[in-house]
Amino acid sequence: MLYDYAAQVKQRHVGNKVYYRGLIEYSNRCVKNCFYCGVRRDNKNVDRYTLEDSEVIAAARLAHKKQFGSLVLQSGERCDNYFVEKVAFLLREIKKETGGEMHVTLSMGEQSRETYDLWRESGAHRYLLRIEASNRKLYKKLHPYDDLHSFDKRIEALELLRDTGYQAGTGVMIGLPFQSLEDLANDLLFINKADVDMVGMGPYIEHEATPLFRYKDQLLPEEKRFELSMKMVALLRILMPDINIAATTAMQTLHPRGREFALKIGANVIMPNLTPLKYREGYLLYENKPNIHEETDVSLENLQHSIEQAGCVLALGEWGDSKRFRERG
Ligand code: SAM
Ligand code: SF4
């Protein structure tokens, strides 16, 4: 069986450790208008926010206190100077506050080489930029047809991340309208060829206030989208045995034990949400996002339980670089 084999491959290559990446949803302001995303620029029903510096630092301190080795700063895409400098400042502050012990992953979209360099020099180690869909034609159906949403630029940005020395990650959405099984198979081959160190992929979940919502009747039922996502995780673990693979929040949205199952059959990273509760309603990328009212301590207790149920061990105080990255030399 696929799942049993993937679980064996995982055990053999990366063992049963699970690494935490504390997720800070830094800002929902975005210049882009992706057809699938609830915080797209044209959704006027979203209260826009950006965390205060002190809130970011408090979240970083909490992560440090709880012995997380790593943080993810994620936000809508912005390339203006103010934003670029602010992120650089926050990276330096996080480094200072945690005595350089905290690894930081950024997930802030497509940026210039200068920006990637600046953020890298300021303390960012990893960068997550999903290709979303590796089929160019499908990508075009998911985005406005303009320079800001160009497939070629997305590919270039991924290459730039490698060039500028980041541990790079990518990923796709699974169960999108117009997406075929062949597309998903090709997504796996794309990810393998991109030779990334980490992958975050998960089911597409519709959001009423987005253009893609009108195709909701064409979507696979939720349980099928979940099953497809698990198959993708298992196949990716077999294809790339030594990378980090995240059990994503969207998996949990479609199945209460989704992340647990993903850990059993291939994933080894979980991103507990550290965003202050008052902002979480503002970061609804899709409907029914879980844990938006749950205090961090409660979430962490539940997570720890899930990890143990999956037969895994939480690795605290470790950066958790992927085996592939460590062996690149
Ligand atoms: N703005 C950055 C970017 O797009 O790369 C980072 C933040 S963005 C919210 C992070 C990820 O959310 C995207 O890469 C996309 O795959 C995912 N996402 C957005 N809308 C989604 C939806 N409706 N269902 C599932 N995932 C979604
Ligand atoms: Fe902005 Fe990212 Fe959402 Fe696209 S997916 S609209 S870039 S936050």
Query: Each residue of 10-37: pLDDT tens digit?
Result: 999 999 999 999 999 999 999 999 999 9
User: Both tokens of residue 286?
Assistant: 């899709």
> What is the per-residue pLDDT for 299?
83
Residue 329 has pLDDT above 80, yes or no: no
Neighbour tally for 72: CB within 10 Å: 25
Residue 169 CA to residue 166 CA, distance in Å, equals 9
Counting from 1 in the atom list of ligand 1, the atom nearest the Cα of 205 is 24
DSSP summary character for residue 221: P
Percent of the chain scored above 70 by pLDDT? 100
For the segment 279-296, the average pLDDT, to the nearest whole number, is 84
Counting from 1 in the atom list of ligand 2, the atom nearest the Cα of 38 is 3
CB-based contacts of 8: which residues, under 8 Å, 6+ apart? none
- Compute the distance from residue 99 Cα to the ligand 1 centre, in Å: 31
Residue 27 CA to residue 108 CA, distance in Å, equals 10
Percent of the chain scored above 90 by pLDDT? 90
What band does 263 get if pLDDT is binned at 50, 70 and 90? very high
> What is the per-residue pLDDT for 296?
79
What band does 124 get if pLDDT is binned at 50, 70 and 90? very high
37 lines ligand 2 (CB under 6 A): yes
> What is the per-residue pLDDT for 218?
96
Residue 188 has pLDDT above 90, yes or no: yes
131 in Cβ contact with 203 (< 8 Å): no
For the segment 212-226, the average pLDDT, to the nearest whole number, is 97
Residue 258 CA to residue 226 CA, distance in Å, equals 8
- Compute the distance from residue 104 Cα to the ligand 1 centre, in Å: 19
Helix, strand and coil percent figures for the chain, each rounded to 5: 45, 15, 40
Q: Which of 29, 25, 24 is nearest to 80 (CA)?
A: 29
Burial class (CB in 10 A: 0-12, 13-18, 19+), 253: buried
The residue count for the chain: 329
Q: List beta partners, residue 19.
A: 269
Q: Is 282 helix (H, G, I), strand (E, B) or coil?
A: helix
Is-above-0.85 flag for pTM? yes
- Compute the distance from residue 143 Cα to the ligand 2 centre, in Å: 10
Task: Kindly report the backbone phi and psi dihedral angles of residue 25, in degrees, each rounded to the nearest multiple of 5, phi listed first.
Answer: -85, 90
197 in Cβ contact with 325 (< 8 Å): yes
Please give the single-letter amino acid code of residue 199. Answer: V
Question: Which of 77, 132, 151, 205 for a ligand 2 pocket mutation test, highest count of atoms within 8 Å of Cβ?
Answer: 77
243 lines ligand 2 (CB under 6 A): no
pLDDT tens for each residue of 132-151: 999 999 999 999 999 999 99
Q: Which of 263, 53, 297, 325 is nearest to 255 (CA)?
A: 263
154 in Cβ contact with 129 (< 8 Å): yes
Task: Kindly report the backbone phi and psi dihedral angles of residue 22, in degrees, each rounded to the nearest multiple of 5, phi listed first.
Answer: -70, 120
Average pLDDT, the chain: 95
> What is the per-residue pLDDT for 38?
97
Among positive and negative, which fits the CA dihedral 134, 4, 202, 320?
A: negative
Q: Whose CA is nearest to atom 3 of ligand 2?
A: 37
Residue 295 has pLDDT above 90, yes or no: no
User: Both tokens of residue 120?
Assistant: 């890298």
For the segment 84-105, the average pLDDT, to the nearest whole number, is 97
> What is the per-residue pLDDT for 247?
95
Q: Whose CA is nearest to atom 5 of ligand 1?
A: 109
Residue 151 CA to residue 105 CA, distance in Å, equals 23
Dihedral in degrees, nearest 10, Cα atoms 171, 20, 111, 328 = -80
204 lines ligand 1 (CB under 6 A): yes
Instruction: Name the pairing type of β-strands 103-107 and 70-75.
Output: parallel
78 in Cβ contact with 31 (< 8 Å): yes
The region that residue 105 occupies, defined by phi over 0 for left and psi between -120 and 50 for alpha, beta otherwise, is: beta
41 lines ligand 1 (CB under 6 A): no
What band does 234 get if pLDDT is binned at 50, 70 and 90? very high
130 lines ligand 2 (CB under 6 A): no
Q: How many CA atoms lie within 13 A of 85 on its CB side?
A: 3
pLDDT tens for each residue of 105-118: 999 999 999 999 99
